[in-house]
Amino acid sequence: MSGPYGYTQAKALVYSKYGEPGDVLSLHTFSISPSLPSSTLLLRTLATPINPADVNQIQGVYPSKPPFTSLLGTPSPSAVGGNEGCFEVVSVSPSITSVAKGDWVIMRSTGFGTWRTHALAGESEVLKVNKDGLTPTQVGTVSVNPCTAYRMLKDFEPLVEGDWVIQNGANSGVGRAAIQLAKQWGIKTINVIRDRSDATATEDMKKELLELGATKVVTEMELMDRGFSEQVRGWTNGGREKVKLGLNCVGGKPTSALVKCLSQAGHLVTYGGMSKQPLQLPTAALIFKDIKFSGFWVSRWSDANPVEKKRTVDEILEMTRLGMFKDVPVQELRWDWGTEESVLKEAIQGTLGGFRAGKGVFIYGDT
Amino acid sequence: MSGPYGYTQAKALVYSKYGEPGDVLSLHTFSISPSLPSSTLLLRTLATPINPADVNQIQGVYPSKPPFTSLLGTPSPSAVGGNEGCFEVVSVSPSITSVAKGDWVIMRSTGFGTWRTHALAGESEVLKVNKDGLTPTQVGTVSVNPCTAYRMLKDFEPLVEGDWVIQNGANSGVGRAAIQLAKQWGIKTINVIRDRSDATATEDMKKELLELGATKVVTEMELMDRGFSEQVRGWTNGGREKVKLGLNCVGGKPTSALVKCLSQAGHLVTYGGMSKQPLQLPTAALIFKDIKFSGFWVSRWSDANPVEKKRTVDEILEMTRLGMFKDVPVQELRWDWGTEESVLKEAIQGTLGGFRAGKGVFIYGDT
């Protein structure tokens, strides 16, 4: 919001100690001078999602922890929550030519707190995106989940058309992205979802994922059934088609059952552990079946591969623009200048409950 | 043994059904015609070890199962036990020029039953070795354990001088080979051994492995101690030197403790599971510490890489010849023409007891 003397009035959700978001977050108001430091952009926030990892970061249980600073003039050194988002360039310092007023940008790396109405960012901290035909939510949610799915499908096993991938958490943001990307690349998918409370809800979810491009959708109970690997043999032409890759965000026993469906020399890539149970690896799967186990963390990948990140983001956004890549279901949470601190904090705290109809995304209004 | 009309009288330990070696093995006598089929060699056996996997194979619990055949004229179709050994060429069919009478050969692949006094082998089934300065035991035990250690150190992580490897089962054939190869290549090793019944025996074992080239030797109890990873930080110059590779033949909780000692992006390679416990992988080790888990099976590697196998065997035997690679402790078990079936069967059954002073190796006498 415009303040006196050309200053911008801004707000940010900050925390100065780790804990539950409802306890430690506060809404801080600050102002940004109209004379920008060199190589700096003034950004207005358009959309920022709430990812589960954002909440874990505030709880202090996430390995990447942004430093607490006094840059925003908070009473004690603090960090801004959030890691992803879509921003509009409001103004740039004179030397900057790579982006201009009105352009949209995303953050190059995670760790730049994004839950704020405005930000000053270094030119090298942002990636410009082509905004034509896209919504702020589409741009603001591309760097974590879709990039995770894209890289897991590309960087661990060389998949060719007709190969299979099996994944759990198929209804998640990553899972839905993997279904769509695999479909476009001619890769077939076996998708495991959690059993719903009633059969109709389960069937609806299966139908939704099949429409998105899934080849097969099964519940965790179906996966755990003794006969399931025989069923997979049937789907894969008696094992002649290979299940080369598994994507895991669950862990525990259901993941051991998933590993049994991988073909000889298959690869399980873990990117989450929703069950909070470790993986159990039978020795024989490693030695005789030659199964490989790796992990993927999109923050590490982004930091190590900035050029490839831009290329990946651009490709996914182009698919989105062409209608070939559908958004995850979203619950928009409006953030206006007058929105109460308690409303914003509840939106974040509620993310861990897990019963939101879609991914929570702050949409910034008259800020 | 020479028979009438130029025939060779031979014996082999065969089995025609799976079970305990003491129950299912029998000593079968057969004869080999002096007129060899084309492209065939007549071999006299010099030394064949008893590996634990040989016993598992007879029990039927090993994934590679040689087919039962009637080639040796056994009452029912059967297989010959054993997978490794050193053989002397007695005669060759006329067309063969790659090997000659008096040469020593080993088997190119596992699965050719080796517990026998003589064998007919195809030219393509054997690898000729340079026997100069070597004993039959050295040649007869090179293809499984030393090759396993060599490939695990070479094929999973690019190690450079000053890097560290941590391994359990350090007193095993593979463990001792890994210690010596790593030492020669400038790689430091942390070696975990099982706790002995008394402190003196433990100290003796530590001393023996240190003399072999181990950088550090610890017991499993020391490994499981809470402060152990701090100790590793001390050894590795505060973590500036990297523990890039772990070699595991144990499994279960002690292996989880070993994984904690690996550096960021380290790799655990499993080649055995002596504890019969699965590996437990905490999700965070996969995602945030980027630890990779693979398995190694020397039979698969040999079959897929015959040229590289010959090169690896030649290199290890050259080190042995130069006194740079010491044999594992061996308990020689003599196999003469008159040795009773029961003695041979007991030698094999005893392997699983695990209290032999060294690796059991049949040395063939007046056969």
Residue of A nearest to B287 (CA): A295
The verdict on A264 touching B (C-beta cutoff 8 Å) is no
Question: What CA–CA distance (Å, rounded) separates B352 from A184?
Answer: 53
Task: Report the 10 Å Cβ neighbour count for B338.
Answer: 9
Q: Given CA atoms B210, B211, B212, B215 in this order, what sign does their dihedral have?
A: positive
In this structure, the answer to whether residues B108 and B204 fall within a common structural domain is no
Residue of B nearest to A292 (CA): B294
pLDDT at A5 over 90: no
Question: What CA–CA distance (Å, rounded) separates B290 from A297?
Answer: 8
The complex's ipTM works out to 0.91
Domain assignment present for B291: yes
Domain assignment present for B205: yes
Longest dimension (CA), chain B: 73
In this structure, the answer to whether residues A238 and A260 fall within a common structural domain is yes
Quick one: B129 exposed, middle or buried, by C-beta within 10 A (0-12, 13-18, 19+)?
buried
| Token pair of B40 as six digits | 């065939």
Nearest to A296 among B287, B293, B296 (CB): B287
pLDDT for B196: 86
Look at residues B47, B52, B168, B62 and name the one whose alpha carbon lies nearest to residue B114. B47
Q: What is the pLDDT of residues A25-75, one digit of tens each?
A: 999 999 999 999 999 999 999 999 999 899 999 999 999 899 999 999 999
The verdict on B357 touching A (C-beta cutoff 8 Å) is no
CB B244 within 8 A of CB B164: yes
pLDDT for A358: 79
Look at residues B266, B293, B279, B263 and name the one whose alpha carbon lies nearest to residue A294. B293
If you ran DSSP here, which 8-state letter would residue A238 be given? Answer: T
Q: Given CA atoms B202, B208, B210, B212 in this order, what sign does their dihedral have?
A: negative
Cα B278 to chain centroid, rounded: 22
Mutual angle of helices B145-155 and B306-321, in 10-degree steps: 110
CATH value at residue A106: 3.90.180.10
Domain assignment present for B146: no
Antiparallel, parallel or unpaired: β A79-80 and A40-49: unpaired
Phi, psi at residue A111, to the nearest 5°?
100, -15
In this structure, the answer to whether residues A157 and A135 fall within a common structural domain is no
Count the alpha carbons within 13 Å of A356 in the hemisphere toward its beta carbon. 23
What average pLDDT score do residues A98-117 get?
96
Longest dimension (CA), chain A: 73
In this structure, the answer to whether residues B156 and B77 fall within a common structural domain is no
| Token pair of B283 as six digits | 């999700």
| Residue tagged active-site, from A62, A150, A271, A364 | A62
The verdict on B210 touching A (C-beta cutoff 8 Å) is no
Task: Report the 10 Å Cβ neighbour count for A199.
Answer: 9
Question: Which residues of chain B fall short of a pLDDT of 50?
Answer: none
Interface test with chain B among A61, A152, A286, by most B beta carbons within 10 Å: A286
Domain assignment present for A319: no
Look at residues A60, A10, A9, A13 and name the one whose alpha carbon lies nearest to residue A333. A13
Residue of A nearest to B285 (CA): A295
pLDDT for A238: 96
CATH value at residue B167: 3.40.50.720
Given B280, B299, B318, the domain boundary residue is: B299
In this structure, the answer to whether residues A206 and A85 fall within a common structural domain is no
3-state class (DSSP) for residue B354 = coil
Residue A63 to residue B292, Cβ atoms within 8 A: no
Domain assignment present for B360: yes
The verdict on A254 touching B (C-beta cutoff 8 Å) is no
| Token pair of B351 as six digits | 């392997």
Q: CA B49 → CA A284, B52, B81, B143, B362, distances in Å?
A: 23, 10, 11, 11, 6
Given B279, B299, B319, the domain boundary residue is: B299
The alpha-helical segments, DSSP class H, found in B128-272 are 136-140, 145-155, 173-184, 199-212, 220-224, 228-235, 252-260
Angular region, A98: left φ>0, alpha ψ -120 to 50, beta rest: alpha
Residue A271 annotated in active site? no
In this structure, the answer to whether residues B98 and B116 fall within a common structural domain is yes
Contacts of residue A14, Cβ cutoff 8 Å, sequence gap at least 6: A25, A26, A27, A28, A72, A74, A78, A79, A80, A81, A113
Domain assignment present for A215: yes
If you ran DSSP here, which 8-state letter would residue A271 be given? Answer: -
Q: Which of A286-295, A314-323, A355-364 has the lowest mean pLDDT?
A: A355-364
Look at residues B24, B21, B113 and name the one whose alpha carbon lies nearest to residue B76. B24
Mutual angle of helices B199-212 and B173-184, in 10-degree steps: 40
Count of domains in chain B?
A: 2
> In the sheet that A243-248 helps form, which strands lie side by side, from edge to edge?
A216-219, A188-193, A164-167, A243-248, A267-270, A292-295, B292-295, B267-270, B243-248, B164-167, B188-193, B216-219
Domain assignment present for B311: no
In this structure, the answer to whether residues B137 and B156 fall within a common structural domain is no
Q: What is the pLDDT of residues A204-225, one digit of tens each?
A: 999 999 999 999 999 999 999 9
| Token pair of A16 as six digits | 């100065």
Domain assignment present for B315: no
Angular region, A39: left φ>0, alpha ψ -120 to 50, beta rest: left
Question: What CA–CA distance (Å, rounded) separates A104 from B242?
Answer: 42
pLDDT at A355 over 60: no
Contacts of residue A356, Cβ cutoff 8 Å, sequence gap at least 6: A331, A350
Domain that holds residue B169: 151-299
| Token pair of B300 as six digits | 């698969």
Reduce the secondary structure of A323-349 to three states and give it as a string: CCCCCCCEEEEEECCCCCHHHHHHHHH
Cα A218 to chain centroid, rounded: 23
Contacts of residue B94, Cβ cutoff 8 Å, sequence gap at least 6: B38
The verdict on A247 touching B (C-beta cutoff 8 Å) is no
Question: What CA–CA distance (Å, rounded) separates B165 from B153?
Answer: 8
pLDDT for B281: 86
pLDDT for A328: 87
Question: What CA–CA distance (Å, rounded) separates A236 from A228?
Answer: 12
Tokens 């006969």 -> residue: A227
In this structure, the answer to whether residues B276 and B344 fall within a common structural domain is no
Chain B residues 297-336 with a CB less than 8 Å from chain A = 297, 300
3-state class (DSSP) for residue A92 = strand
In this structure, the answer to whether residues A67 and A166 fall within a common structural domain is no
What average pLDDT score do residues A159-178 get?
97
pLDDT for B349: 87
Given A299, A315, A345, the domain boundary residue is: A299
Provide the pLDDT confidence category of residue A82 given band limits of 50, 70 and 90.
Answer: very high
Q: What is the pLDDT of residues A262-300, one digit of tens each?
A: 999 999 999 999 898 999 888 999 999 999 999 999 999
Burial A92-128 (b: 16+ CB within 10 A, else e): beeebeebeeebbbbbbebbbbbbbbbbbbebebbbb
Residues of B within 8 A of A251 (CB-CB) are 283
The verdict on A279 touching B (C-beta cutoff 8 Å) is yes
In this structure, the answer to whether residues A109 and A184 fall within a common structural domain is no
Tokens 């959309």 -> residue: A47
Rg, Å, chain A Cα set:
22
In this structure, the answer to whether residues B184 and B122 fall within a common structural domain is no
Provide the pLDDT confidence category of residue A352 given band limits of 50, 70 and 90.
Answer: confident
Question: What CA–CA distance (Å, rounded) separates A177 from A9?
Answer: 37
In this structure, the answer to whether residues B198 and B289 fall within a common structural domain is yes
pLDDT for B327: 86
Nearest to A288 among B284, B287, B297 (CB): B297
